[in-house]
Amino acid sequence: MKNSNGLEVLSVQFFFVFLRGNALRHGSSWRSSRGIFAFLLLGVCVSAVATWLYITSLDSDITETLARQGELVSPQPRVYSIQCSEDYENYKRYPGCTPQKCGRAVTDGVVNREEAHVLRRLAERGLALAGSEGGASILDLHSGALSMGKQFVNIYRYFGDQIRDVFTAEDFKLYRDVRGRIQTIIAETFGLDPRLMYLTKPTFFSRINSTAAKTQHDEYWHPHIDKVTYGSFDYTSLLYLSDYGSDFTGGRFVFMDQNGNRTVEPRTGTN
């Protein structure tokens, strides 16, 4: 169950909450981040009942393909509903904000290919500063966390002023813009007021390849539930920046629900 060729998979993951959330458990904060392959997948993880399994090479486990690489899901997202998890009852509820309607959504309508490539180059430049010794590296522009060997460093502290030469103002502008588009799509899809949603942490780029895992942070393939891992998350989104079938093979994204597993074959942007 891993990315079966040596090629890379890049994506960026955004998490939204309604109120700025609880403190993050840093030790485990990267554990669930690894599942990132390629393509723009806007995965909205509203229900903790469902877990995600990020990749699989065992076709027999797969019951349904939700989105194929070759098809374009745009402009309307492809959505299916699920029952909201009881996990939400363990957290404070914010009327009008806490999910009332739960489901999964996939869309290709967030970025075009050119924008995806700009984001990808941004991530590659950042990750080129260090990177994990194992197969999964992350870069969090908000906290500054970057994988380095078997640990993480804060790029803003570690590299200081050098960082100004790595990222441009236009990079950050696009990044913020895309983040806003994702927020809008989540709000439209789930009937929410986008002004009541706040980005929570972590938010990061991931790069995954088939180098053997050296620490548990590299083990991106385990099924997981963001609501359980992070607590503060109500909606999770993943924007893939590489293509299933050409940039990588093997690793697909799977929504695991009680009534079946639904796979997404990642794709980079609209066209």
Ligand X SMILES: *[C@@H]1O[C@H](CO)[C@@H](O)[C@H](O)[C@H]1NC(C)=O
Binding segment toward ligand X, per CB under 6 A, in 19-27, 33-41, 73-81, 207-215: 207-215
Q: Which of residues 74, 211, 215, 249 is near ligand X by CB under 6 A? A: 211
Least distance CB 151 / ligand X (angstroms): 16
Q: Is 65 in the site for ligand X (CB under 6 A)?
A: no
> Rounded to a whole number, what is the distance in angstroms from the first to the last CA of the chain?
29
Reduced to 3 states (helix: H, G, I; strand: E, B; else coil), residue 191 is: coil
Q: Which of 4, 6, 83, 93: binder of ligand X (CB under 6 A)?
A: 6
ω into residue 202 within 30 of 0, thus cis? yes
Among 11, 29, 33, 209, binds ligand X (CB under 6 A): 209
* Helix residue spans in 76-202 (DSSP H): 113-127, 155-158, 169-190
Task: Find the binding residues for ligand X in span 130-149 (CB under 6 A).
Answer: 131
SS3 of 149, please?
Answer: strand
**Residues in contact with ligand X, total (CB under 6 A)?**
12
Spatial separation of the C-alpha atoms in residues 131 and 169, rounded to whole Å:
23
**Contact (CB, 8 A) for 41 and 262:** no
Question: Which residues, 227 to 266, sit near ligand X by CB under 6 A?
Answer: 256, 260-261
**How far is Cα 132 from Cα 139, in angstroms, rounded to an integer?**
10
**Contact region for ligand X (CB under 6 A) — 74-82, 190-198, 208-216, 225-233?**
208-216
User: Residue 48: left if φ>0, alpha if ψ -120 to 50, beta else—which one?
Assistant: alpha
Residue whose CB is nearest to ligand X in the complex, by number: 61
Contact 146, 138 (CB under 8 A): yes
Window of 55-63, 88-96, 99-107, 163-171 that interacts with ligand X by CB under 6 A: 55-63
Q: Which is nearer to ligand X, 200 or 261 (CB)?
A: 261
DSSP 248: B
From the list 91-99, 160-168, 204-212, 213-221, the region that binds ligand X by CB under 6 A is 204-212
Residue 3, token pair as written in the block: 């990315």
Contacts with ligand X by CB under 6 A lie at 6, 53, 56, 61, 63, 131, 209-211, 256, 260-261
